[in-house]
Amino acid sequence: MWKNINGSAVFAGGKEAFEDAAQTALRCPLFRPDSEEEWTAEEARSCYNCRYRRWTKESFQCVKGGCP
């Protein structure tokens, strides 16, 4: 669910793929929840709520390189 853009792992689903982001986070051994004030998804375990995501214009980048 990742694409490589200029050497960075960017989530291919964009900002509205809530189910895909949750499923990806369930498989990710590097997931760590961000503070609740920063959450954007209802599911606690979601890439959208991970402390290692950095928002981009279209999606977000995983600073840990993306998970399987």
Return the structure tokens found at 57: 């214009």
Question: Measuring CA to CA, which residue among 27, 25, 22, 44 is closest to residue 35?
Answer: 44
What is the domain partition of the chain in residue ranges? Answer: 2-62
- pLDDT tens-digit map of 24-46: 999 999 999 999 999 999 999 99
pLDDT tier for residue 68 given thresholds of 50, 70 and 90: confident
CA distance 66 to 68: 7
Q: Locate tokens 């050497």: which residue?
A: 7
The percent of residues above 70 in pLDDT, for the chain, comes to 100
pLDDT at residue 1, rounded to an integer: 86
Return the structure tokens found at 15: 């900002």
